[in-house]
Structure 1
Amino acid sequence: MTQIIPKPYWYLRHGETDWNLQGLAQGRTDIPLNETGIAQALRAGRTLAALFQNNERPFNRIVSSPLSRALVTATYVRDEIDRLTGVGLPLLIEENLSEVCFGIHEGTPMGNWYHDWIEAGTPLENGESFEALTQRAITTVNTNLASEGTPLFVAHGALFRGLRAGMNLSVNARLINALPLEIRPDDSNWVLNFLELT
Structure 2
Amino acid sequence: AAMADALDAIAGQDDPLGRTLAHFDRPNGLKIDRVSVPIGVIAMIYESRPNVGSDAGALCIKSGNAVILRGGSESLHSSRVIVDCLTAGLKAAGLPEDAVQLVDTRDREAVKHLLHSTEHVDLVIPRGGRGLVSLVQREARVPTLLHLDGNNHTYVHHSADLEMAAGLVRNAKMRRTG
Larger Rg, first or second structure (1 or 2): 2
Q: TM-score, normalised by structure 2?
A: 0.34
Q: Which has the higher contact order (CA 8 A, sep 6+)?
A: 1
